């Protein structure tokens, strides 16, 4: 008896699978290095230390002083 098995594509895309696919694509944009073992490491994906330090200091300054600065700007505009 001969049997032929072929996998057919799904009739419809499940929302959970679609959400997982979108998250994988966004994760690839945010963190281009392969931390999950899907492929080779990319040495060009490193963030330069000066840029990382500047971004960290800017983010911490925004968290610490953002409300005051935004308040000053709103008072000047209004």
Whole-model pTM: value is 0.40
In degrees, to the nearest 5, what angle opens at C-alpha 19 toward C-alphas 16 and 20? 85
User: DSSP letter at 12?
Assistant: S
Contact 22, 10 (CB under 8 A): no
More confident site: 11 or 78: 78
Closest CA to 57 of 46, 47, 65: 65
Task: Report pLDDT digits (tens) over 15-49.
Answer: 677 788 887 777 766 665 555 555 555 556 567 78
């Amino acid at each position: 008896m001969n049997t032929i098995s072929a996998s057919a594509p799904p009739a419809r895309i499940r929302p959970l699978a679609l959400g997982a696919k979108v998250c994988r694509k966004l994760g690839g944009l945010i963190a281009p290095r392969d931390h999950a073992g899907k492929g080779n490491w990319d040495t060009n994906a490193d963030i330069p230390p000066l840029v990382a330090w500047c971004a960290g200091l800017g983010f911490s300054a925004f968290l610490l002083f953002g409300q005051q600065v935004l308040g000053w700007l709103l008072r000047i505009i209004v």
